[in-house]
Amino acid sequence: MSEKSGLIAVVVALIGAGGIIGAKYLEVGAKAPVAPAPQPGPSPAPTPTPTPAPVNVDPAPRPISVDPVVRPEPAPTVVDISGPWHDFQHATYVIQQQGNAMRISSPQYPAGIGAGTIIGTAVAWEYRDNNGVPGRCTGTATGDQLQMICAQMGGAQPFPLHRPSSG
């Protein structure tokens, strides 16, 4: 057989094989060959549900420990500061008090007046002096003394007051 005829035989064989393969492809509905589906086998064992931890129940419950009731501190007793007071220059100031509220005035400084509060022994008032300049005083009441610090126009100074001595 010549070389040419051998080549033709191979080509024909390939074409024939291609036709057989193509026909098989068309028979399956133009789908590529698919691997066979796995056959059902034994089911895997179900995963066990975890068992909850046992709960210890005390058959004789014990009383619950409760802290004692915390009662709020009583409000501090308001010091009575009503009446006349003197400063170190012996000017008189009159304080009028109603509960925690107070007003202060002075016969020597009739245009000056103030108002404030008293909480326990803490005293505070805001005022305007005889010239209408505002200020603020804060301090404590102890017996017959008012130990105040008054601030006005950026400065502060002690302003102690005392009740006039009787006698």
Which secondary structure element, helix H or strand E, spans residue 15, and what is its range? helix 3-27
Closest CA to 79 of 19, 133, 139: 139
* pLDDT digit string, tens, across residues 59-96: 666 666 666 676 777 766 788 999 999 999 999 999 99
Per-residue model confidence (pLDDT) at position 8: 54
Residue 166's CB is within 10 A of a number of other CB atoms, namely: 4
pLDDT of residue 148: 95
Rounded to whole angstroms, the Cα distance separating 81 from 128 reads 20
For the chain, what is the total number of helices (H) and then of strands (E)? 1, 8
Q: What is the pLDDT of residue 23?
A: 47
Sites in the chain below the pLDDT cut of 50:
7, 9-14, 17-18, 22-23, 25-26, 28-30
pTM of the model: 0.54
Output the CA–CA distances (angstroms, integers) from residue 33 to 26, 27, 28, in the order listed. 11, 11, 8
pLDDT of residue 129: 87
pLDDT for 71 equals: 72
